[in-house]
Chains A and B, each alone.
Chain A
């Protein structure tokens, strides 16, 4: 039992330090602030935006940025700033829901396949290997092609594509934890497999799981933007940065702001997640920092 206490204590200490170390690093701070900005935009979208996202001002089409329309208007006269703000909400919701789908299923499959060896492990990993063998965007496009384009199907597609990464990460960490003494201790005092899994192994696999989730969130947001750009993700008039950028292409010379703002926000979001992911990895695993 002493092992359990020691590990729990160690984890608490590291958890406290992670945020501190993360914010002490300038890059970590920048990434954190970038994400905070996007989250604030998403949460307070109704208070920040000036207009309804679908509100058409036919007299004010293709207006350059000005005091009324901060980021200008698009070809329908819709306010780009409001659409960007609501677009943050769409990006984050799709990212969070799809990563939750992937993480939830991947976590369960990873724990099961890591703990129980033999036929269960082989069959789970076989399915995962097949899913992993697909280039991810291709699998997502295939699923959407079959199910049809909608926000829910986009989330399902991105979720399914990300399951194997989580399964593999969790499985690997379960396997290494399983060989530690405290699991043998727990077994020797007669705990059932289910209790050992839920109470001891699952909480200890969380660290690698969290890093993976941050990375997956950035790739999920990117996949959504790409699919929407291709016209196979979020459908207009719902504002998605990807589809806004795609719609802007026909008007890019007349109204460059239609291109620039969605592109900037996509770049800002992905960049912030990547910087934060890098900083998080450096903090959690200083050995990798070269």
Chain B
């Protein structure tokens, strides 16, 4: 097992290298260049030369990449053009907020999706199955920014409710923090629940058709044991895969949802960076989020081996 994890970690190196090169190269496509972006109409040859030297842009591309990536490895993602503040500590601080939101969204999604997905599979083609499938389809199809906007509108018109504007951390005041996070988590979790529900239903149905379930029933095991211990455990592999894949959508979701609900997470930081053309922020945040995404998918791979011992470590 340990060897497997080490080997999987080693295979990440080319992917992470590729991601960093891709981000670095995309950043080179900025029309004009970064200095034009910073100076705008105030540009003079002297100022340009000064900024090029300061940012290391006077060096060859390969050297620029090596300088940047060696900084990244040491935890130095550069400084914001506007405020001069280090980017990495800010990313870490905001990551904890986004991670909390993503975790709450996952919990909401599982609470909704797993029981309903199981119910839908067990009562296949009944009215409750149809209702669950329609809910799931809506969950998959309704974009979370539309749900969020409609939810805010509904809460305001029906209850005169507005969620707190100023962000409060969980450590500062857990109750207010949860109040702030509740609706964003419901919106994100709701859209995630749709696909988890569909996957739970179809993969449980697939497993229930197999011979070993007949064997388990034939030996007289109670239905609850058959479903939970035998069928659901076997059905959970595709569900876990989906959760890994959903992390990408969840990260995209945080960008949108944090913007709508004014939550100062990583997504909002990225958008601020984009709007203010603060490239170190954009470059650093995208790199960090892509790395996290890759690591979560690695984690999903490792979880498989626990769920299904047939998946070999080699």
Contact = CB atoms under 8 A, between A and B. Distances in A.
Interface in B236-290: 247-249, 251-252, 255-256, 259-260, 270-271, 273-275, 277, 282, 286, 289-290
Contact of B145 (A131, A133, A226, A271): A226
A147 B274 contact: no
Contacts of A145: 273-274, 277, 282
Contact of A133 (B260, B271, B294): B294
Contacts of B112: none
Contacts of A229: 145, 256
User: Which size bracket describes the interface of B in this complex?
Assistant: 35 or more
A252 B289 CA distance: 32
Nearest to B274: A145
Given A263-B150, A274-B140, A253 B157 contact: yes
A138 B256 contact: no
Nearest to A223: B252
B15 A133 contact: yes
Contacts of A259: 149-150, 153
Interface of A is mostly: helix
B141 interface: yes
B152 interface: yes
Interface stretch (B27-35, B38-46, B59-67): B27-35
A226 B255 CA distance: 10
Contacts of B260: 249
Nearest to A144: B274
B299 interface: no
B205 interface: yes
Contacts, number: 131
A133 B19 contact: yes
A67 to B, nearest CB: 25
A135 B140 CA distance: 17
Nearest to B289: A138
Interface string B7-51: 000000011001101110011011100000000000000000000
A6 B13 CA distance: 47
Contacts of A288: 202
B168 interface: no
Interface in A185-227: 222, 225-226
Contacts of B29: 146-147
B274 A130 contact: no
Interface of B is mostly: helix
Interface string A241-256: 0100110110011001
B15 to A, nearest CB: 6
Nearest to A149: B274
Nearest to B16: A133
A127 B25 CA distance: 13
A233 to B, nearest CB: 12
A54 interface: no
A269 B61 CA distance: 44
A222 B31 CA distance: 27
Given A147-B29, A147-B31, A222 B255 contact: no
A266 B270 contact: no
A41 interface: no
Interface in A233-290: 242, 245-246, 248-249, 252-253, 256, 259-260, 263, 266-267, 270-271, 274-275, 278, 288, 290
A130 B289 contact: no
A136 B293 CA distance: 11
Given A126-B18, A143-B26, A267 B141 contact: yes
Contacts of A231: 275
B26 A146 contact: yes
Contact of B252 (A129, A131, A138, A144): A138
B135 interface: no
Interface of A: 126-127, 129-131, 133-138, 141-148, 222, 225-226, 229-232, 242, 245-246, 248-249, 252-253, 256, 259-260, 263, 266-267, 270-271, 274-275, 278, 288, 290
Question: Top 3 closest A-B pairs, CB basis?
Answer: A137-B252, A135-B248, A130-B18
24 contacts: A130-B18, A133-B19, A133-B294, A135-B290, A137-B249, A141-B274, A142-B282, A142-B286, A144-B274, A145-B273, A147-B31, A226-B145, A226-B252, A226-B256, A229-B145, A231-B275, A248-B149, A253-B156, A259-B149, A267-B142, A271-B137, A274-B140, A290-B201, A290-B205
Given A226-B145, A231-B275, 16 more contacts: A130-B18, A134-B19, A135-B293, A138-B248, A138-B289, A141-B255, A226-B252, A230-B259, A245-B149, A252-B149, A252-B152, A253-B153, A253-B156, A253-B157, A256-B157, A271-B137
